[in-house]
Amino acid sequence: MKNLDRIVEVQIALNTSGIDTQDFSSILIVGPHFHSLSRVGIYSSTSEMVEDGFRTDDPLYKAAEAVFSQTPHVPEVRIGRRQADSISVHVGKVAAKGTYTLNVKTRDKEGTLQDKPYTYTNNSGNVADILGGLRDVVTADSAAVITASLSGDELVISGRSNANFAFSVSKNLEAVVKSATESIADAMEAITADDGNFYGIGLTSRDEKDILAMAEWAEANEKLFATATAKDGAYQSDVDSDLGSKLKAKNFYRTYWFYHALENEFPELALMSRCFTSYPGGETWALKKLAAITTDNLSSTKVKAICGDKNNSGKNGNAFVAFRNISCTQGGMVAAGEWIDVIRFRDWLKEEISVNVFNLLINREKVPYTDEGIAQVEARIRDALVLGQRRGGIAPTEYDEDGRENPGFTVTVPLASSVSANTKAKRKLTDVFFTARLAGAIHFVEIKGSLTYENLIAG
């Protein structure tokens, strides 16, 4: 069959490239564990976490449980592993004769997975004999990446020279994280190198230094961080040394915090899961009902100290409190005093505009520095702003009492003729501006009325 190229030659370029976009509904929960070598694991249920070895009393499990308990909730969570440098191993509740095993997984220099079991068979059922026997088996291996030592009725497992290892035990043993000494900054660098596709961050640690360090990291890396405290100073208006006061004083725009009396519950992640099911701009973070979260019994004075009210910002915190027979969130602000939904919507809009314009530039042979080319850039900005209107973040066009138009947004770009030759030579378009009115949300309603015996018939 003759090739038609001899008569008609056709070449078609594929100007269809797309760039990955930030997901503004993805949650990362950070905490120490030893169940995998990967820094990030993705789970769609808590049962999957149990299958991977997580205990149901593990803070990471509890945090994920808060996420998945909401209706609706995000479809999955990322579990970010903070290096666990020390693990405590206990014999099960009933010591018995039998075989006890420690399993250690590592990767060699070529990345090949190495699985090493350390097994001890005991015939006495004595706890000291079992733990001592396991210690001796590990110690006898000069190539082991872990060390084992006895401390009372526990066997302490540690990594050699900050070795990266995964750890599991046989069913007749129990293992829990003893400590995590890796800094928040180091942990987050390792986590994002593995998988950086997340926006919301939760932290199992309630240590103030860890929280402040994560708030610093989130601010610098354009993420949204959620945390909580159970300390009484949070709801005392005359205390300024508590966590909430410190977060407010530092003007963190990307951190929001809760007061919650129970440290093993995570209302901040329950709220994040609930609100992340809406598009950015289509939600408010106040007045949300949360499932599987205990209501805090706080007086109006304490709630005002935490969250403020319509006349007072308080400590810019959040709380989960009862109104008659309904419990819902109060606050809805980040520590710096801005609404959480505004921060998320701003981040989304920045990403949407950036991606729209970038896709224009890479999918054309060139965008000319002419009025037509500038108009193409303007159109991509308008596309993002119109989508922001549809999703509820930007107000629609409205009218005042005299019928004058109040647009939801305006975009201004320069005429090509007004741009200097030097700027054109640099091939950089400047003086592009937009202004958009936020749609906002109603949190408080003030209604005044009157009662009368007089007729209200008009005319």
Whether the predicted pLDDT of 107 surpasses 60? yes
Average pLDDT over residues 118-136: 95
pLDDT at 309: 84
pLDDT tens string 286-302: 999 999 999 999 999 99
Strands 98-107 and 113-122: antiparallel
Query: How is residue 358 written in tokens?
Result: 């970038």
pLDDT 10s digits, 83-100: 988 999 999 888 889 999
Q: How confident is the model at residue 162 (pLDDT cuts 50, 70, 90)?
A: confident
- Does the pLDDT at position 264 exceed 90? yes
HEC per residue, 389-437: HHCCCECCCEECCCCCEECCEEEECCCHHHCCHHHHHHCCCCCCEEEEC
Percentage of residues in the chain with pLDDT exceeding 70? 96
Lowest pLDDT segment from 254-263, 310-319, 359-368, 417-426 = 310-319
Beta carbons within 10 angstroms of residue 41's beta carbon: 20
The amino acid sitting at 296 is D
At 322, list the tokens: 């009862």
Q: Average per-residue pLDDT in the chain?
A: 94
**pLDDT over 70 at 263, yes or no:** yes
Q: What is the mean pLDDT of residues 453-458?
A: 86
**Residue 294: per-residue pLDDT:** 98
Give the residue-averaged pLDDT of 32-40. Answer: 96
- The pLDDT assigned to 7 comes to 61
Q: Tell me the whole-structure pTM to 2 decimals.
A: 0.94
Label residue 168 exposed, middle or buried (CB < 10 Å: 0-12, 13-18, 19+). middle
Please report the pLDDT score of residue 224 as a whole number. Answer: 98
At residue 196, the pLDDT reads 95
Instruction: Collect all residues with Cβ–Cβ distance below 8 Å to 294 and sequence separation of at least 6.
Output: 260, 261, 262, 265, 320
Nearest to 392 by CA among 442, 353, 333: 442
Instruction: Give the pLDDT band of residue 9 (cuts 50, 70, 90).
Output: low
173-220 per-position pLDDT tens digit? 999 998 788 999 999 999 999 999 999 999 999 999 999 999 999 999
pLDDT tens per residue across span 216-252 = 999 999 999 999 999 999 999 999 999 999 999 999 9
1 has a pLDDT exceeding 60: no
With bands split at pLDDT 50, 70 and 90, how would you rate the model's confidence at 62?
Answer: very high
The pLDDT, as a whole number, for residue 459 is 60
